[in-house]
Structure 1
Amino acid sequence: MSDLVANIVGTAAALCSITSFAPQMIKIWKERDASNVSLKTYSLTVTCFVLWTVYGVMTTAWPIIVANACALVMAAAVLGMKWRFRDGEPD
């Protein structure tokens, strides 16, 4: 497989991972309600992105590092809003 094709696939995967959190973040922020967000699921998701980012660092795979670090920030933001706006009540 050519490097160009692999990079295109990797870029598409990274963009999908990163942007998949945007609608949830926007909805929670606008409504100030995260009662429908699963704390366990997002905790696992954040852990997953931490591990993928560490793996990328260990293997010096910069596309994996960047993509997963960006997704980590967005998933962590959702998790943070879950704590802040729990049960629809802002702090």
Structure 2
Amino acid sequence: METIIGIAAGILTSISMLPQLIKILKEKDVENISPYMITILLSGVSLWVVYGVMLGEWPIILSNAFSVFVNVTLLICYFLFSKNS
């Protein structure tokens, strides 16, 4: 049961930023997102990947690696679509 809960939690947290990413890719508008929030979240999920590697726990590694990918993509989009760049 613990594994099922862990996998479900990993999936939900991993996909939580996808709607934001999709919206940004469609509208090319990043005015309402904070690069600081993305950077802090990216740091946290990166540490979760390291933690998962240290424990050898693939559900932690994979779900957080996906989150790293999504958040890196968001940060790239922020710099690409920012009106100040």
Report the counterpart of residue 77 of structure 1 in structure 2.
73
1:37 aligns with 2:51: no
Once residues 47 and 85 of structure 1 are traced to their aligned partners in structure 2, the CA distance between those partners, rounded to angstroms, is 22
1:64 to 57, 60, 64: 60
RMSD: 1.4
TM-score normalised by the chain length of structure 1: 0.86
Runs of 4+ in 1 over 2 A off after TM superposition: none
Larger radius of gyration: 1
- 1:11-22 pair list within 5 angstroms: 11-22=7-18
Runs of at least 5 residues in structure 1 that lack an aligned partner in the other structure = none
1:75 corresponds to which letter in structure 2? N
Identity of aligned residues (%): 35
Structure 2: gaps of 5 or more residues? none
Q: What TM-score does the superposition give when structure 2 sets the normalisation length?
A: 0.92
